[in-house]
Amino acid sequence: MKTPTALMTDLYQLTMAAGYFHHGLHAKRVSFELFVRRLPENRRFMLFAGLERVLDYLRNLHFTESQIAYLRQVPHLQTAMSYDFVEFLRDFRFTGDVWAMPEGTVCFAREPMIRVTGTLLETQLVETFLLSAINTETIVATKAARIILAADGRDVLEFGTRRTSPDEAVASARAAFIAGFAATSNVEAGYRWDIPVAGTAAHSWTMSHASEEDAFRNYVEVFPKHATLLVDTYDTIEGVKRAIAVAHDRLKGIRLDSGDLLALSTQARRLLDEAGLRDTKIVASGDLNEDKIQRLVAAGAPIDGFGVGTELVRSSDNPTLGGVYKIVFDHTEDRPVAKFSEGKATLPGLHQVFRKYRDGIAESDVIGTAPEFHIDSTPLVEEWMKDGRLVRPLPSLAKIRSRARTQLAEMPVAVRGLGPPNPAEAYDVRLSHGLQTLIDEVRKREMT
Amino acid sequence: MKTPTALMTDLYQLTMAAGYFHHGLHAKRVSFELFVRRLPENRRFMLFAGLERVLDYLRNLHFTESQIAYLRQVPHLQTAMSYDFVEFLRDFRFTGDVWAMPEGTVCFAREPMIRVTGTLLETQLVETFLLSAINTETIVATKAARIILAADGRDVLEFGTRRTSPDEAVASARAAFIAGFAATSNVEAGYRWDIPVAGTAAHSWTMSHASEEDAFRNYVEVFPKHATLLVDTYDTIEGVKRAIAVAHDRLKGIRLDSGDLLALSTQARRLLDEAGLRDTKIVASGDLNEDKIQRLVAAGAPIDGFGVGTELVRSSDNPTLGGVYKIVFDHTEDRPVAKFSEGKATLPGLHQVFRKYRDGIAESDVIGTAPEFHIDSTPLVEEWMKDGRLVRPLPSLAKIRSRARTQLAEMPVAVRGLGPPNPAEAYDVRLSHGLQTLIDEVRKREMT
């Protein structure tokens, strides 16, 4: 049972809907595109995520009688809730077309992540939900991709649920998995999408026993095949020794959650190896982010897996994505639309992104008009919905994840790096000759 | 229909539950308390929010057959999913007691926001959801309270939906309303809790018309009583003049969404006054936060209302609250429990917070043991659930909001200020003599 989502929007989408309806403008056919004007601060790319939720929303969008009754008594809307408009809302379904990049696509500023074509009313109404879903899932997937790049092949586990809201936690676990995380602690995400779930015990498990030794023994007894023991409740190195003594060859792993992770992991590895436990893994967690992980990896810390929470779901170096959703074409009047104001300029027309490769590495993106064809390049924006219906099955999460891996691997070294982006090394995104010509035409038309 | 939430948790809560069950430790009676160790950076207080969602979760917590079937095949859990444990999960309900501060309470570090008493299994299992709900709602309510203090009596409108996830947006609108926001753009929040909703039109309304004048005229026709016109699509001052010319005395307000808000609002006010529209309001929005609002208010900008979005829901100066949930008492062994490790110390025992006032202004909080009585002080932690049932009706949102207003008004000037907190002026939170004695006893016991 899905929560009805039609009211998960800003009121002004409904006032505008009522206004368009009243003036007979609602059926005008237009296209909107969703993009960011600039890359988020401290980011060299974005990893697109959230489309599945958007398509799910669009397919299920409708107003219940109870929602309509509510809208009829909102003071602001009262004058606009005519009999005809109420009837219209009762029958309302999204009937538009959707083109978008597949989830797991690496993308850049000004590139259309989603394009929605339909009536002015329906394309406008869905703006808020689309921005909400894409802004939040893409910012997490992007952060997750940076963490994956930092971990350089080591496993990363998603532990963020307690630092984000209950529902967003589930979406964040999915976004992290797309980017390459190995597993999540969020059980709902495992239940919903079959994402591998991970987690063993908290410090409170140890503290609820008379001694650390009792706690370890009791754990191994219940989970003989999955005994990863949290060793830092009291003294970490003593904890490692105790874990070895109690679990022997059933010790699948140990987790370090505090202290100098380089020094502790090095000592722990030596103790494990001396005990013949070469296959026992070391997992580290505790306020980790991509920079700390990169330093640990560079220093050769013998850590097999990293757990990341807070910094993934509420990235302190960049908590928001500034996605916008702007009208680009008026089909009724067959007219490309753009804004040219400084810092808020938009690109007129329907767009496609053509990615060019050299020796398997992405070299540049060309933003062109949708009908263009560029030889030796891959178009990134694909058709998903036509007249409100899916035109093909949604890709599996495994397929999305695999796309993300490929996309990240194909990026040049400068894009895959973590430090503050250097404009001189920024990925090359240019406008096609056709689009540039169109911009000049529209600008000329606007000035006259 | 509520989404089942039992799996909205970290896997380790379930592995520990299975482990406690296996070893017969699950029925041991304990208390956990939820608190923050330090105030969030750049914050002088917190405004507590999220309790309603927590109580709702606890009352409805149960495992569906489908969820149990899923858990039975999670590799990690398999060895622990005995027949008895599965039967236990089938019948599982939360049967514990809950004490907590009412939502809308101003609180500080180390003070218990929530205390949960019950079996070790149930109190541990609920940790993740409680932290998730309280961390996210309290951080937004706290930011919202700072914005309200900055606005100094002017209206503030919540516009954050597009910058946070769909579900969290609804909770954030509620948290902001508690803190004193006048309205939200989030229609679902209005529908669910009867929070006033606000919003008029976006720039796209204006751009969808042949001219700004047409756009204004069409808007006023549909919303004659609520004509707040967005005037900055092209030239702001021209927009103000046009709004006056088109709407005359039906112009309820204008909204400025860009540019120098002080200069523009001053010019707009003069134009409105010259046209005799002294009651027409000026609303300002566009990347506002408490500091910008405070500067505008201090400069005497004639702005009647502020719209705040991104900075409310994803505060860039502090995106996370680090709430923790720690065991404080083992009732089965009648033993207060604490950790004394540096930076991670906890307070042993059950706690109450006693707020002392002088001339109507809060002077200090004393954290004491729960049974203490402090003359001339108000205890902040109240009983909400007993044996899994509510002991009294939940307060209305209006009542919670009114409590927040009183609580903020009662705070000393130094707490209500916005700049980086000065430790010398920090609000006085001390431990009672009784609690200090208990700490010493427990510490002595731990050392022997």
Phi and psi at residue A114, in whole multiples of 5°?
Answer: -140, 140
Q: Quote the pLDDT of residue A162.
A: 96
CA geometry: angle B6, B8, B10, nearest 5 deg: 110
Listed as ranges, residues in chain B with pLDDT below 50 are: 1
- Specify whether B154 is located in the same domain as B134: no
Q: What pTM value is reported for the model?
A: 0.97
Q: Quote the pLDDT of residue B339.
A: 85
pLDDT per residue over A390-428, tens digit each?
999 999 999 999 999 999 999 999 999 999 899 999 999
Q: Quote the pLDDT of residue B341.
A: 77
Total domain count, chain B = 2
Sort A274 into a burial class: Cβ within 10 Å, 0-12 / 13-18 / 19+.
exposed
CATH number of the domain residue B288 falls in? 3.20.20.70
Q: Quote the pLDDT of residue B1.
A: 39
- Specify whether B276 is located in the same domain as B421: no
Q: Quote the pLDDT of residue A6.
A: 96
CA geometry: angle B299, B302, B307, nearest 5 deg: 95
Q: What does the mean pLDDT of chain A come to? A: 95
Cβ contacts below 8 Å, chain A against chain B, sum to: 283
Which residue, of B313, B337, B368, is where some domain finishes? Answer: B313
Task: Give B-chain residues touching A76 at CB under 8 angstroms.
Answer: 197-200, 223, 226
Does residue B6 form part of some domain? no
Q: Quote the pLDDT of residue A377.
A: 95
Cβ of B201 and A337 within 8 Å? Answer: no
Q: Quote the pLDDT of residue A315.
A: 85
| Percent of chain A clearing pLDDT 90 (strictly above) | 91
Is pLDDT above 70 for A1? no
Of B12, B70, B136, the CB nearest to A191: B70
Does residue A168 form part of some domain? no
What is the domain extent for residue B428? Answer: 26-59+94-139+325-447
Of B22, B204, B319, the CB nearest to A314: B319
- Specify whether B176 is located in the same domain as B257: yes
- Specify whether B262 is located in the same domain as B404: no
d(CA A443, CA A234): 68
Cβ of A132 and B208 within 8 Å? Answer: no
Concatenated DSSP letters of A21-69: HHTT-TT-EEEEEEEESSPPTT-S-EE---HHHHHHHHHH----HHHHH
- Specify whether B263 is located in the same domain as B279: yes
pLDDT per residue over A190-202, tens digit each?
999 999 999 989 9
- Specify whether B248 is located in the same domain as B343: no
Does residue A265 form part of some domain? no
Token match 């300002």: residue?
B284
Q: Quote the pLDDT of residue A2.
A: 56
Q: Quote the pLDDT of residue B3.
A: 64
Query: Which has the closest alpha carbon to A299: A257, A266, A324, A252?
Result: A266
Residue of B nearest to A54 (CA): B166
Task: Give B-chain residues touching A61 at CB under 8 angstroms.
Answer: none
- Specify whether B307 is located in the same domain as B331: no
Cβ of B132 and A18 within 8 Å? Answer: no
Instruction: Give the model's confidence band at A345: pLDDT under 50 very low, under 70 low, under 90 confident, else very high.
Output: confident
| A58 Cβ contact list (under 8 Å, min separation 6) | A94, A96, A98, A126, A385, A388
Residue of B nearest to A162 (CA): B132
Which residue, of B281, B313, B345, is where some domain finishes? Answer: B313
Does residue B409 form part of some domain? yes
Instruction: Give the model's confidence band at A53: pLDDT under 50 very low, under 70 low, under 90 confident, else very high.
Output: very high
Q: Quote the pLDDT of residue A317.
A: 85
Does residue B270 form part of some domain? yes
Does residue A175 form part of some domain? no
- Specify whether B440 is located in the same domain as B376: yes
Does residue A6 form part of some domain? no
pLDDT per residue over B48-76, tens digit each?
999 999 999 999 999 999 999 999 999 99
Q: Quote the pLDDT of residue B320.
A: 87
CATH number of the domain residue B122 falls in? 3.20.140.10
Across-strand partners of B253?
B228, B281
Does residue B217 form part of some domain? yes
Instruction: Determine the distance in angstroms separating the CA of B410 from the nearest CA of chain A, rounded to an integer.
Output: 30
DSSP, collapsed to helix, strand or coil, labels residue B40 as coil
- Specify whether B335 is located in the same domain as B216: no
Task: Give B-chain residues touching A197 at CB under 8 angstroms.
Answer: 11, 74, 76
